[in-house]
């Protein structure tokens, strides 16, 4: 093999052999004989590379970037003969300290590379750090040569996804999970069989980028337990995975462990979405620590007021300057890296509306960052999902800049379905929209049903069990006098606040949970489940468990046996959705019969067939999906009828006639006890009376014509 002529050093500094580096790619890249370091700063006047051996508090070398090693605003050099597996590196940057002008340089600080692919300092979850160490979060060099064994992102059609949102630790940390490596990526691998049996084909991981669980760590005045930055919505770096989420993090192998998780999930037909937090960093406001960006180029990375203070659209102290061209490129580089290097199938953007604000914080019509992501070739098949609001008051559900590429967490679906299920009046019209995939929000813009991520619960707020068990939040354990967390939960405790032995209340709660998941699974759009809801998992009324690394957050797997009935219902309802393409249309309904089947694609009914009552007092709506219109008439499916009675009295629903030669069969009836609550795909039971069905108080019926 030929030896490249640029694989020889050209410069010497002390005992180090060097040569001018390549500016791209940014970060630290393994090259023949050494490592190429590259970092940029528009306003620094000097830069130094600082090298540590792994875990050692004192640097073993400081190498200044010589004049030859700067191209434009990029400092770059190759350092030869480094034992890069045993290396941690940082930078010092000299420049003006002039906060009024946005500059906060401090040449004494050792700063993490914003492009660090791996980080040290928090290798094992919850292990007390050495607070005297001047370099807390330490850039490392990553092996990027994982053997994918032919793996490829799955590219499941968006409308066919069933998303399951989970937290890496919460999912398997509890003793009852019975996995070997609790609370880790490896632990999830051990539960893939469970995910498959449940039937979800996509998991959305709450933030797995490097973060510091000790950020703002404190003891709860209410419980005396340690509170942590448990959820991790506070990035140290955007390119490195959280080492403490890997069983092998202590060996620096978190990258391989995460890639193995992705590969194993893909092998089992399950996609992986990442919850990404580009709206702020862990550096906080003016009082916050120097970790990276603040000391490298504060004015570039953060949105600043004219006086040089941090804008706080995130509610977390600072706001990443997403539409600065340099930051925009970093975000693009980052997502391309996760998509190509980790085979990630898509991203959910936390407080995504911030990504559409300009450098002064004003919302833009065509935000360049969002447009770049929509049209990027590497991300071309990735799912892009916006949490379409921010903490600065911008609420863009239905209006997020999208270019036909962006989907949204549909907060309207959550609120309307919650209120409908708890029996509020005046929701019939809204429920029609939500079940149809929210055409009121999306159709007029030419956006498909897969613009709508439908959910009733997510990490923010009550679990499903708590939604039917508590009228009010109970966040005392968070140590903020129950002030934190949303007050607007649209929840109902079914007659008793919290746990109860009352069998009537327990039955009603189970029924309400079944009602909720049924409506979710028979609605157009993409359903998302919160991990544990299928087990009836409780957070004991805590609707904001961001700081609770304990039984409040951890899934209790003993519930699988205790709530077998609920789990079985979820599993069969998920299977029902997979079995029926008519539930998974991509195009919005036209409300007409365009395949000459004798039925419109969707028709709305009530207690009288063909007469929907959408008046203010109506709590009874029903609809019929014509199987011949499945997937815009391109495939044939069964005809399905759903009756939703959210009134506290029983109602009879007059049935529309099934297609000629077919009869109505019951698939699910949430008012009945097992096994009559749900029959399983292919085991639907014939109806005795084809003219009318009785829907019990607060119940949903699902019928199939066959």
Partner 1 sequence: MQVSREIKNGVQVITLSGKLDGTTSPKAQEEILASLDTASQVVIDMSRCSYVSSAGLRVLLNLAKILARNSGQGVLAGLVAEVADVMKITGFGNVFPCYADVDTGIAALKRKK
Active site positions, annotated: 350, 387
Kindly write down the DSSP assignment for every residue of 536-593, as one continuous string: T---TT-S--TT--STTTS--TTHHHHTHHHHHHHHHHHHHHHH-GGGS-SSPP-SS-
Residue 127 or 180 with smaller CB distance to partner 1: 180
At closest approach, how far in Å is the CB of 173 from partner 1?
16
Query: Residue 259 or 588: which CB sits closer to partner 1?
Result: 259
Report the residue number, 171 or 455, with the smaller CB distance to partner 1.
171
Instruction: Decide if residue 344 touches partner 1 (CB under 8 A).
Output: no
What is the nearest approach in angstroms of partner 1 to the Cβ of residue 3? 17
Number of chain positions touching partner 1 (CB under 8 A): 25
Question: Least distance (Å) from partner 1 to the CB of residue 185?
Answer: 8
What does the chain come to in residues? 706
Query: Given candidates 15, 128, 130, 145, which one binds partner 1 under the rule CB under 8 A?
Result: 145
Q: How far is Cα 496 from Cα 507, in angstroms, rounded to an integer?
A: 13
**Interface with partner 1 in residues 161-180 (CB under 8 A):** 180
Helix (H) or strand (E) holding 46: strand 46-53
Report the residue number, 168 or 431, with the smaller CB distance to partner 1: 168
Write the DSSP string, 619-656: -EEEEEE-GGGHHHHTS----EEEEEE-SSS-EEEEPP
- Point out which span in 59-67, 84-92, 464-472, 542-550 binds partner 1 (CB under 8 A): 84-92
Q: Toward partner 1, which CB reaches closer, 183 or 585?
A: 183
**Binding residue for partner 1, selected from 56, 68, 81, 85, defined by CB under 8 A:** 85
Residues in contact with 32: Cβ distance below 8 Å, sequence separation at least 6, in sequence order: 3, 4, 7
181 touches partner 1 (CB under 8 A): yes
Q: Does 143 bind partner 1 (CB under 8 A)?
A: yes
Neighbours of 403 (CB within 10 A): 13
Q: Report if residue 28 touches partner 1, rule: CB under 8 A.
A: no
Give the span between the Cα atoms of 645 and 652, in whole angstroms: 9
Contact 66, 11 (CB under 8 A): yes
Q: Which member of 18, 112, 189, 574 binds partner 1 (CB under 8 A)?
A: 189
Mask of contacts with partner 1, 455-484, x by CB under 8 A?
A: ------------------------------
Q: How far is the CB of 30 from partner 1 (least distance, A)?
A: 11
Q: Which CB sits closer to partner 1, 17 or 181?
A: 181
Angstrom distance (rounded) from CA 151 to CA 62: 41
- Please identify which residue in 15, 83, 307, 501 interacts with partner 1, judged by CB under 8 A: 83
- Site residues for partner 1, window 246-285 (CB under 8 A)? 247-248, 251-253, 256-257, 259-260, 263-264
Q: Does 146 bind partner 1 (CB under 8 A)?
A: yes
For residue 255, the SS3 value is helix
Q: Return d(Cα 213, Cα 208) in angstroms, integer.
A: 12
17 lies in the site for partner 1, by CB under 8 A:
no
Judged by DSSP in three states, 348 sits in strand
Strand intervals (E) in 405-481: 406-409, 452-455
Q: Which residue has the tokens 């907060």?
A: 411
| 168, 205 contact by CB (below 8 A) | yes
**Residue 188: helix, strand or coil by DSSP?**
helix
Q: Which of 86, 133, 217, 663 binds partner 1 (CB under 8 A)?
A: 86
Decide: 652 and 605 in contact? Cβ < 8 Å.
no
Q: How far is the CB of 144 from partner 1 (least distance, A)?
A: 11
Least distance from partner 1 to the Cβ atom of residue 248, Å: 6
**Interacting residues with partner 1 (CB under 8 A):** 83-86, 143, 145-147, 149, 180-181, 185-186, 189, 247-248, 251-253, 256-257, 259-260, 263-264
């Amino acid at each position: 093999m030929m030896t490249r002529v640029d694989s020889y050093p050209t410069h010497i500094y002390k005992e180090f052999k060097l040569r001018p580096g390549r500016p791209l790619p940014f970060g630290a890249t393994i090259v023949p004989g050494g490592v190429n370091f590259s970092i940029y700063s528009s306003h620094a006047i000097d830069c130094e590379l600082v090298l540590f051996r792994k875990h050692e508090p004192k640097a073993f070398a400081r190498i200044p970037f010589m004049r030859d090693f700067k191209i434009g605003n990029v400092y770059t050099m190759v350092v030869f003969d480094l034992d890069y597996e045993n290396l941690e590196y940082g930078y010092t940057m000299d420049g003006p300290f002039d906060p009024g002008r946005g500059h906060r340089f401090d040449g004494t600080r050792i700063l993490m590379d914003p492009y660090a692919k791996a980080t040290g300092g928090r290798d094992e979850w919850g292990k007390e750090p050495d607070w005297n160490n001047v370099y807390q979060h330490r850039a490392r060099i990553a092996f990027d040569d994982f053997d994918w064994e032919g793996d490829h992102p799955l590219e499941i059609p968006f409308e066919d996804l069933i998303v399951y949102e989970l937290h890496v630790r919460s999912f398997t940390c509890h003793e009852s999970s019975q996995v070997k490596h609790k609370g880790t990526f490896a632990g999830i691998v051990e539960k893939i069989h469970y995910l498959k049996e449940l039937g979800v084909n996509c998991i959305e991981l709450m933030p797995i980028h490097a973060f510091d669980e000790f950020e703002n760590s404190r003891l709860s005045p209410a419980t005396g337990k340690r509170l942590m930055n448990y959820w991790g919505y506070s990035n140290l770096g955007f390119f490195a995975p959280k080492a403490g989420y890997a069983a092998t993090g202590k060996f620096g192998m978190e990258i391989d462990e995460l890639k193995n998780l992705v590969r194993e999930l893909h092998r089992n037909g399950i996609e992986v979405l990442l919850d990404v937090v580009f709206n702020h960093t862990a550096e906080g406001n003016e009082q916050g620590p120097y970790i990276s960006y603040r000391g490298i180029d504060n004015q570039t990375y953060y949105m600043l007021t004219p006086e040089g203070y941090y804008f706080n659209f995130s509610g977390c102290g600072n706001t990443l300057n997403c539409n600065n061209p340099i930051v925009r490129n970093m975000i693009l580089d980052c997502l391309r890296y996760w998509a190509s290097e980790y085979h990630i199938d898509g991203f959910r953007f936390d407080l995504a509306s911030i990504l559409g604000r300009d450098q002064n914080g004003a919302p833009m019509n065509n935000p360049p960052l969002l447009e770049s992501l929509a049209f990027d070739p590497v991300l071309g098949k990735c799912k892009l999902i916006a949490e379409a609001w921010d903490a600065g008051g911008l609420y863009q559900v239905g209006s997020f800049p999208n270019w036909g590429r962006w989907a949204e967490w549909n907060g309207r679906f959550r609120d309307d379905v919650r209120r409908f299920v708890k029996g509020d009046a005046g929701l019939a019209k809204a429920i029609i929209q939500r079940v149809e995939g929210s055409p009121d929000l999306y159709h007029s813009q030419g956006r498909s049903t897969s613009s709508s991520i439908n959910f009733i619960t997510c990490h923010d707020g009550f679990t499903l069990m708590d939604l039917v068990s508590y009228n009010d939040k109970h966040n005392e354990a968070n140590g903020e006098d129950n002030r934190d967390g949303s007050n607007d939960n649209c929840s109902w405790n079914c007659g008793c606040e919290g746990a109860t032995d009352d069998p009537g209340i327990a039955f009603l709660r189970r029924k309400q949970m079944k009602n909720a998941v049924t409506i979710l699974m028979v609605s157009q759009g993409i359903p998302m489940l919160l991990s544990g809801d299928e087990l009836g998992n409780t957070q004991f009324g805590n609707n904001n468990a961001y700081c609770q690394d304990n039984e409040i957050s951890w899934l209790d797997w003993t519930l699988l046996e205790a709530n077998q009935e609920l789990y079985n219902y979820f599993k069969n309802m998920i299977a029902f959705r997979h079995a029926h393409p008519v539930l998974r249309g991509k195009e919005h309904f036209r409300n007409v019969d365009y395949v000459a089947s004798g039925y419109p694609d969707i028709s709305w009914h009530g207690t009288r067939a063909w007469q929907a009552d959408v008046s203010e007092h109506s709590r009874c709506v029903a609809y019929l999906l014509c199987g011949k219109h499945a997937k815009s008439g391109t495939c044939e499916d069964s005809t399905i009828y759903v009756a939703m009675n959210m009134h506290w009295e029983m109602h009879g629903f007059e049935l529309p006639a099934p297609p000629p030669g077919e009869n109505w069969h019951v698939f699910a009836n949430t008012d009945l006890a097992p096994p009559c609550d749900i029959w399983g795909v292919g085991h639907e039971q014939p109806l005795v009376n084809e003219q009318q069905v009785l829907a019990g108080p607060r119940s949903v019926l699902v019928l199939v014509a066959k």
